Every structure is written in structure tokens, then in C-alpha cells.
């Protein structure tokens, strides 16, 4: 029964995270860091955004192999399934929330705030299920294993690196910056903070959640 609960919480976390990705696009203030590279590549190649998310996540699995080397386990390859599922959730969320972006800056900031909160909650939930991390978080966990840094601090650094990479790709191939704005950098700093704050602000709720899982 507990395994069923774990899978349920895991999938809920992935879906909430996907909704957060959609709202970052709808804010028109810059996509979230986790989606920055896939978003730029989707424009360059003219491919579906969800498909690009899956493809980039596959490359993160290869990066984990490079970091962990002999410590890389076969079960890490199961992240391919999770990456595909998350890519589907992103595509579904984009279709479901099909409203046009607002021209009102305050409304767009609200969308960005919703995006940051949803992505932070989604990351916390699916990691709390302790099943299979998404490839991006898998890279962060690999770094955590090799260093003494806290996860939320590694996430902030990883998000900043992906944003810089997205900017470079955009400038090189599109000769302009697409999808990267003030909201992207705000999210790069705040999503990791949200992940770190959840167990502090919601101690009772987190304890109850753990009782269902453990």
C-alpha cells in the first residue's frame, strides 16, 4: 500500500512541477530555469516543448554517468521513463492551460510567482517519495553525493548554469535572447529556496506525509 502512495505522490509532484513550467511560459517574463534549455531548443528546432524536455533530460542521465562513474547504477536508467512521463505532463499542461498570456505586468508577475511555488512544491513532493529522481535532480543528487553542499544550494547553482547555457544557445542560433528574462533569474534563486522552506514552514504536514510513506 505504501508503495502505491509513493507512486501517487511522485506523479502528483511531477504534474505540479509541469504546471509550474506552463505558468512560467504564460508569465512571458522568462521560462523557469529547468525549462530554459528545452524551451530555446524547441524554438531552434521547431519541436514540441515536452519532447525537448525529454531529450534534454536524457542528456542529464549521461552527465550523471560522467559524475558518478563506477557508482552509477543500472536503476538510474529508469529515469528515462520518468523523463518521458514529465515531458508528457508538460505537453498536457500546455494544452490544458491554453489561455493567452496577459499584457498586465502585475498579472504576469503573479503567474511567475505561481510558477515558482508550483515547481518548488513539485520538486519537494516527488523527491520526498524517494523513488526515481528526474534526470535534472539526478545530476544535483550526484553532485550532492560528491560534495558537502546542501541540495537546495546545489539546485540554485545548477539552475543558474542552465540559464547561462540557454542564453548562449539562444544568442548563437537565434541571434537574440528567447525565453530568458527577469523571471528566469528570480526563479533560479527562489525555487531552491521554496524547496528548502517547505519542511520548515509545514513541519506537521511534512511529518504526516512521511508517516504515509515510511
31-62 residue pLDDT tens: 878 789 999 999 999 988 888 988 998 999 99
Return the pLDDT at 53.
85
Check residues 152 and 102 and name the one with the higher pLDDT.
102
The total domain count for the chain is: 1
Report the distance separating Cα 188 and Cα 63, nearest Å: 20
Residue entry with cell 529508469: 78
161-203 residue pLDDT tens: 998 999 999 999 999 998 888 888 888 788 888 888 887 777 6
Report the distance separating Cα 89 and Cα 148, nearest Å: 33
Burial 191-210, CB ≥16 within 10 A → b, else e: bbebbbebeeeeeeeeeebe
- Summarize the confidence of residues 116-139 as an average pLDDT: 87
The answer to whether the beta carbons of residues 136 and 34 sit under 8 Å apart is yes
Indicate the pLDDT class of residue 214, thresholds 50, 70 and 90.
low
Check residues 211 and 125 and name the one with the higher pLDDT.
125
Contacts of 19 (CB under 8 A, 6+ apart): 93, 97, 118, 122
- Summarize the confidence of residues 119-129 as an average pLDDT: 87
Domain that holds residue 154: 2-213
Indicate the pLDDT class of residue 209, thresholds 50, 70 and 90.
low
56-109 residue pLDDT tens: 989 999 999 999 988 888 888 888 888 889 889 989 999 998 888 888 999 999
The rounded Cα 34 to chain-centroid distance in angstroms is 4
Report the distance separating Cα 36 and Cα 167, nearest Å: 9
Grid cell, residue 30, equals 522568462
Return the pLDDT at 160.
86
Report the distance separating Cα 12 and Cα 206, nearest Å: 15
Return the pLDDT at 206.
63
The answer to whether the beta carbons of residues 76 and 82 sit under 8 Å apart is no
Amino acid at each position: 500500500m505504501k508503495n502505491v502512495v509513493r507512486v501517487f505522490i511522485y506523479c502528483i509532484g511531477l504534474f505540479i512541477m509541469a504546471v509550474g513550467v506552463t505558468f512560467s511560459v504564460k508569465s512571458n517574463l522568462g521560462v523557469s530555469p529547468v525549462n530554459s534549455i528545452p524551451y530555446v531548443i524547441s524554438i531552434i528546432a521547431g519541436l514540441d516543448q515536452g519532447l525537448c524536455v525529454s531529450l534534454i533530460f536524457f542528456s542529464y542521465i549521461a552527465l550523471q554517468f560522467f559524475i558518478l562513474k563506477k557508482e552509477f547504477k543500472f536503476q538510474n536508467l529508469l529515469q528515462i521513463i520518468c523523463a518521458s512521463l514529465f515531458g508528457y505532463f508538460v505537453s498536457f499542461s500546455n494544452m490544458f492551460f491554453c489561455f493567452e498570456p496577459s499584457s498586465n505586468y502585475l498579472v504576469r508577475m503573479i503567474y511567475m510567482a505561481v510558477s515558482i511555488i508550483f515547481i518548488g512544491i513539485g520538486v519537494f513532493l516527488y523527491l520526498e517519495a524517494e523513488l526515481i529522481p528526474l534526470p535534472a535532480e539526478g545530476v544535483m543528487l550526484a553532485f550532492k553525493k560528491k560534495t558537502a553542499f546542501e541540495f537546495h544550494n546545489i539546485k540554485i547553482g545548477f539552475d543558474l548554469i542552465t540559464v547561462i547555457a540557454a542564453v548562449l544557445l539562444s544568442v548563437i542560433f537565434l541571434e537574440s535572447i528567447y525565453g530568458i528574462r527577469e523571471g528566469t533569474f528570480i526563479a533560479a534563486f527562489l525555487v531552491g529556496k521554496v524547496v528548502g522552506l517547505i519542511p520548515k514552514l509545514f513541519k506537521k504536514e511534512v511529518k504526516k506525509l512521511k508517516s504515509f510513506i515510511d
